[in-house]
Amino acid sequence: MNTHHAFPHPLGATLTPDGCNFSVHHSSSFPLSLIIFNDDGTYNEHPFTEEYGSIKYTFIDNITKDTAYGFKIIQDKKALLLLDPYAKALKNTPHYDVPYTAEQSWVLAQSLVVDDTFDWQETPKPMISRSETILLETHVKGFTLLNPKVDTKVRGTYLGLADPANIAHLKHQGITSIQLLPVAACMHEPHLLEMNMVNYWGYNPISFMAPDPRYARNDAVTELKTAIRELHKNNIEVILDVVYNHTAEGGDGGVTFNLKGLDQDYYLHHHGKYTNYTGCGNTLDITHQPSLNLVMDTLRYWVEQYHIDGFRFDLAATLGREYDQFNPNNAFFKAVAQDPILQKVKLIAEPWDIGPNGYQVGQFPDGWNECSDKFRDTTKSFWRGEQNYLKSMATRLMGSRDLVSASRWPHKLPVNYVSYHDGFTLQDLVSYKERHNLANGEENRDGHGDNRSDNYGVEGPTDNPRVIALREKQKRNMVTTLLFSFGIPHLLAADACSHTQQGNNNAYCQDSDISWVNWDLDETALEFKRWLSDMIQARQTHMVPVINAFSGTSRSKQKVAWYTPEGSNMTHADWHGAESLCLHLNIYDGTKELLILINQSNIPTRFELPKPKQHSRWSLVCNTQHTQVTSKHAVVDYSLSPLSIAIFNAE
C-alpha cells in the first residue's frame, strides 16, 4: 500500500502504472473497508487510509486490469459487500435468489478494475443535425437475436449491433441514430425473480457506468465500444436511454446494493420514508451533491470513454425536482448546460414522472428535446377516426408550437412518435383494441389502458385481405404524419419488420419472442419495410429543408397557409367538424414548397390545389392509399381516397 499516490478524485477505481486508486463517497454509520479479490476467489481486506470530506480513498500497489473488488460494510451484524457506484464493469451478471442475503452479496457485488484504453481508430463522431435525425429505438438483444443475416456468434449482443448485416439494414432504412434501451447494468425486481422472469427492458439500474454483461460474449466494455466505433464508421449515432430517477434498491425495506449502504441521502425522503415519484420504490435526490456528482460523472464517462452521441432520460422530470416542485433552472440543468463535454451531445427528455407536478412537457431548458405524448395521442386518435381532432392534428404537424416556440428550433424540436417501447408496436396499434398482457403474470392489470388503437373488425392476426389492407394503410398514415411533421421522428425498430407483440403493451419482462424482432417477413411486411425506407429518404429530401427554414430567426420569412378542399382559406368555423384540409408550406416565396393533403373522412375528397409560387405544377411524393413513393404530377386538383394523406413537392 502506498498512501503517497492516493487521490480523492475521480471516484471509483482508477488504474495507474503502479497500481490502482480506490475512492468512494461514504457518510453512513456503517464501517467501510475495501475488499480485493484474488483469482482463486479468496480476498484481502484493506482500510481506507485517506479522507477528504466525505470521500474515503486509498491506493493499492500492483493492481491490474480485471481485478475484482468491492466495499464491505457491517449491516445488522453481517458483512455485506457493496457494489461500487462508480463501477466500470461487473464481474458477474446481476442476479440473486430471493430474498437477497449478505452471503449472496459477495458474488453479486464484485466490480472489476477497468483499463479505459481503447483503439477508436481515429473514427469521428457523426454529429447529425437535429433536423436530419431519424431516431430508431431498439433493444440490444431483441434487435438482432433472430436476424438470420447476422452472424450466429454475435446475435443478441453488443457486437450484433456492429454486424455488417445489421449496419446494412440501418443504412438502407435511412436511420441516423439508434437509441438503445438501457445498457447500464440492471437488476431484476424481486417479484420478477420469484416468477423466474427478468426486467428485459433494463429500467432498474444497479450501476450507472457498467455496461450490462447480459449482452456481451466475453468483455462488455470492449464489445460495446467496438459496436459504437463500427456504427460511427457508418455515420450512425448511438443514443443511450439512461435511468437516473431511481435505482434497483427499491423503497423502504428494499435491498442494499450500494447507495443505501453508503449514504441514505442519495434518495429523496418524506417523513423518514423513501419518496416514490417513479413507481419503483425510491427517487434519486439530485439536490444532494454526491447524487448530482454521480449523475454528472457517469454522463461524462459515457461520452468521453464510449463516445456516446446523446442520452434519452427516463422520467426526466425527476432530475428537475426540488422535492414536490419542478425547477427548469435547478442545479442539474445548470450543470449540464455549462459542461463542455455534455454541451456537445443530444439530450432527450421523457418530460414527466408520477409525482406531484410531474407533467412538464414544454418546460425543459434550451438544449433539451422532449418526447411529445401529445403528438402520439393526437395522431392515433385522429387516424382511428375520432372527431374534432383536426385542429389538434394541425398543431402537432406544425411542431407543437403551443408548447415550444419555433424560435427555439432546431435545438428544441419535439421528439415525435407513435410507438415506443412502452405501448403497442405499430402493427399492434392496428391489430388490437385491448391489451393482452397475461404473459406478464399480473392478470392483465399492467400496461396502459388508453391505447387509442383499433383492430378494424378482427382482434389480432387475420387472413381477411380487406382488413389487412386497411391496417397497412393506417400504418402508412401514422408514419407519414410522423415523418412530415416538424420535429425529430422517433421510430420503433420492431415496426420496420411489422413485428407484433401479440397485443402485449407492457413487454418489460418478456425476454421471449414477444419482444425479439421477427425477421421472417411475409410479402406484406416486406412491402411496408421497403415503403418505410423510401419515405425516410423522402423526408430527408423534402421535409428537412422546410424544418431548417422554419427554425430560428429565418422562420418569419416563411409562409403557412391552411386550405379547405375547395381551395379557400380555412376560417374559424371550418376548423370545427371538418375532416379534410390542405397545408401549404412555402419557403422564401417559392424556393421550395410542400403541400400536405389530409382526408380523415370515409369518402374520397377532391382538393383544389393552390398554384405553386414559381412552378407550373406539383409533384406527388406519396399517397398512403398506395404502397409506393412516387413522382407523379398533378395540375390543379387531386382526388384523395378516404382515410389517406398525400404529400406534394414543388421546387
Asked whether residue 192 is assigned to any structural domain, the reply reads: no
Q: Is residue 572 packed enough to be buried (19+ CB in 10 Å), middle (13-18) or exposed (0-12)?
A: exposed
Q: Which of 35, 196, 126, 147 is nearest to 519 (CA)?
A: 147
Where does residue 91 fall: left (phi above 0), alpha (psi -120 to 50 degrees), or beta otherwise?
A: alpha
Strand segments, DSSP code E, in 500-577 are: 559-563
End-to-end CA distance of the chain: 72
For the domain that residue 59 is a member of, what is the CATH number?
2.60.40.10
Gap between the Cα atoms of 24 and 431, Å rounded: 52
Asked whether residue 451 is assigned to any structural domain, the reply reads: no
42: cell is 479468496
Asked whether residue 239 is assigned to any structural domain, the reply reads: no
Asked whether residue 57 is assigned to any structural domain, the reply reads: yes
Q: How many residues are there in the chain?
A: 651
Domain count, the chain: 2
The helices-and-strands tally (H runs, E runs) of the chain is 15, 29
Q: Domain boundary residue among 84, 112, 140?
A: 112
Q: Domain boundary residue among 88, 112, 136?
A: 112
Q: Which of 508, 531, 524 is nearest to 623 (CA)?
A: 531
Instruction: Single out the catalytic residue among 189, 212, 249, 314.
Output: 314
Helices (H), 348-463: 373-384, 390-397, 426-429
C-beta separation of 67 from 36 below 8 A = yes
C-beta separation of 25 from 8 below 8 A = no
The three-point CA angle 374-380-384 to 5° equals: 145
- Report the b/e string of 275-292 with b at 16+ CB within 10 A: bbbbebbbbbbbbbebbb
pLDDT at res. 615: 74
The three-point CA angle 209-285-7 to 5° equals: 50
Gap between the Cα atoms of 364 and 368, Å rounded: 6
pLDDT at res. 1: 53
Per-residue pLDDT tens for 129-139?
Answer: 999 999 999 99
Q: Is 579 marked active-site?
A: no
Asked whether residue 18 is assigned to any structural domain, the reply reads: yes
Q: Domain boundary residue among 112, 133, 168?
A: 112
Asked whether residue 453 is assigned to any structural domain, the reply reads: no
Task: Report how far apart, in Å, the C-alpha atoms of 59 and of each of 63, 65, 66 are.
Answer: 9, 15, 16
Asked whether residue 497 is assigned to any structural domain, the reply reads: no
331: amino acid identity, one letter:
A
pLDDT at res. 557: 85
Asked whether residue 79 is assigned to any structural domain, the reply reads: yes
What does DSSP assign to residue 342? G
Chain Cα centroid distance, residue 46: 41
Specify the pairing of strand 177-180 against strand 237-242: parallel
Gap between the Cα atoms of 239 and 54, Å rounded: 33
18: cell is 503502479
Gap between the Cα atoms of 92 and 18, Å rounded: 26
pLDDT at res. 2: 57
pLDDT at res. 616: 73
- Residues in Cβ contact with 534 at an 8 Å cutoff, skipping those fewer than 6 apart: 628, 629
For the domain that residue 580 is a member of, what is the CATH number?
2.60.40.1180
DSSP letters for 200-229: SS--SBS-SSSBPGGG-SS-HHHHHHHHHH
Name the stretches of the chain with pLDDT < 70: 1-4, 631
Instruction: Single out the catalytic residue among 84, 237, 241, 350.
Output: 350
Q: What is the pTM of this model?
A: 0.97
* Torsion (CA) 526, 531, 536, 540 in degrees, nearest 10: 140
Q: What's the domain range around 23?
A: 3-112
Q: Is 651 marked active-site?
A: no
